[in-house]
Amino acid sequence: MTAPLRRLVRETHLHASQLVQPLFVAEDLEQPRPVASMPGIAQLPLEHAVREARELEQLGVGGIILFGIPHAKDERATSAWDENGIVQRAVRAIRETTSQLVILTDVCLCEYTSHGHCGILQGERILNDATVEVLARVAVSHARAGADIVAPSDMMDGRVAAIREALDSEGFAEVPILAYSAKFASAFYGPFRDAAQSTPAFGDLKSHQLPPTNFREAIRDALTDIEEGADMLMVKPALPYLDVLRELRIRTEMPLAAFQVSGEYAMLKAAALEGWLEESRAVWESLIAIRRAGADVILTYYAKEIASGKLHYEF
């Protein structure tokens, strides 16, 4: 088949407008601090994050998702819903200087708790309902700052309904919720925890994240999120869970997102830096696989390099 003919019958496309670049905004930094396990990615001071967002907008990237690294952490994650918290300030500043970029915010507590868990603890146990109440407060504070989409990543029971209710009653009925619906307890989050400085001080997150073994449980959780009022669903990580993504594509009409997580990025980057993989081709093949399985939107640390044309591949 000739190249023009292959182009003509191509079934799956990847555009920068479908990509969301994660940004780590750190309150205490003066200069970007590279993340060792994620070459090319750095924690950014606020002004740098604003500049980066503008650049991503100019490149045609669809959106950004913000993760905050606050100055202060405590047991109750109070900096997570502070009106002048790092994410809230970043949203306001980016909102002022961009108009085409969709601003998503990660709604969780693990970056803001001194113990690094996603919720309020009693002893070593997470209190579901107390946590959900705080998450709703966080989501409202993000919406008030100007976030276009709030994305709860905690996996607590009932959090989508509680966040929906809180947003509606505070006048943010039009702000959609992207639920991390199928979030698996995964080794592939390792580099992110370096980047977000949110490694749990003890224990792990197996109590509320999905076991990699359970496909049906993932689908059930995702369908529950729809009933609770989620506007978009996410599968995370992406490549190891394409079956889940595919099934949700068949079972729902909702927009679907997939998160190509830090470990997926780190694997590709490390192999590319060693010269063991052809980076452009491997990255495109991975992202196309995620699109082909059913993702409308892909959150990926490669968004900028794809959008800028630095990584280009023609199948």
**Residues known to be catalytic:** 183, 236
Q: Does 110 bind Zn ion (CB under 5 A)?
A: yes
Find, among 297, 216, 218, the residue nearest to 258 by Cα: 297
| Residue closer to Zn ion (CB basis): 38 or 118 | 118
Q: How far is the CB of 261 from Zn ion (least distance, A)?
A: 13
Q: 290: exposed, middle or buried (C-beta count within 10 Å: 0-12, 13-18, 19+)?
A: buried
Q: Which residue has the tokens 């407060």?
A: 137
Q: How far is the CB of 154 from Zn ion (least distance, A)?
A: 5
Q: How far is the CB of 135 from Zn ion (least distance, A)?
A: 10
* Piece of 92-100, 112-120, 206-214, 298-306 that binds Zn ion (CB under 5 A): 112-120
Q: How far is the CB of 191 from Zn ion (least distance, A)?
A: 15
* Piece of 85-93, 109-117, 213-221, 279-287 that binds Zn ion (CB under 5 A): 109-117
Q: How far is residue 104's CA from residue 22's CA, in Å, rounded to a whole number?
A: 9
**DSSP class per residue in 42-70:** EEE-HHHHHHHHHHHHHHT--EEEEEEE-
Residue 256 β-bridge partners: 233
Q: Does 234 bind Zn ion (CB under 5 A)?
A: no
Q: 70: exposed, middle or buried (C-beta count within 10 Å: 0-12, 13-18, 19+)?
A: buried
Rule CB under 5 A: choose which of 44, 66, 118, 166 binds Zn ion.
Answer: 118
Residue type, 205: L
147's tokens = 């976030």
| Residue closer to Zn ion (CB basis): 52 or 111 | 111
Q: Please give the backbone phi and psi of residue 228, each rounded to the nearest 5 degrees, phi first.
A: -80, -5
Residues in contact with Zn ion, total (CB under 5 A)?
A: 3
| Residue closer to Zn ion (CB basis): 65 or 110 | 110
| Residue closer to Zn ion (CB basis): 138 or 242 | 138
| Residue closer to Zn ion (CB basis): 128 or 308 | 128
Q: What is the DSSP letter of 211?
A: P
Q: Does 156 bind Zn ion (CB under 5 A)?
A: no
Q: Which residues bind Zn ion (CB under 5 A)?
A: 108, 110, 118
